[in-house]
Amino acid sequence: MSEREVTITAYPDGPLLVRGDVRLETSDGRELPRSRRTVALCRCGLSTIKPFCDGTHKASGFRTED
């Protein structure tokens, strides 16, 4: 990935969208593979592909305060 400003956008009632050149790691430091420049990270905790969002928040009624 080329150098580019990293942005993280919290979508109301949805995921965190991460854009730009950022390394995602597991809690033990292993790099998570990325196939896209923009990834959606789960905030509801119900995704079957954590830490990535699979859209489960919609059916679960997940709500945020922002």
- Looking at the predicted structure, is the pLDDT value of residue 1 above 60? no
Please state the domain count of the chain: 1
- Looking at the predicted structure, is the pLDDT value of residue 2 above 60? no
* Start-to-end CA span in the chain (Å): 30
Please tell me the predicted confidence (pLDDT) of residue 3: 57
Please tell me the predicted confidence (pLDDT) of residue 65: 86
Alpha-carbon separation of residue 54 from 37, 44, 58, 66 (angstroms) = 17, 10, 10, 20
> For residue range 8-55, what is the model confidence (pLDDT) as tens digits?
999 999 999 999 989 999 999 999 998 888 999 999 999 999 999 999
> Residue 49's domain is classified under what CATH number?
3.40.5.90
Domain that holds residue 66: 1-66
Provide the 3-class DSSP secondary structure of residue 8: strand
Residue identified by tokens 């730009």 is: 20
pTM of the model: 0.84
- Looking at the predicted structure, is the pLDDT value of residue 63 above 50? yes
CB 41 within 8 A of CB 15: yes
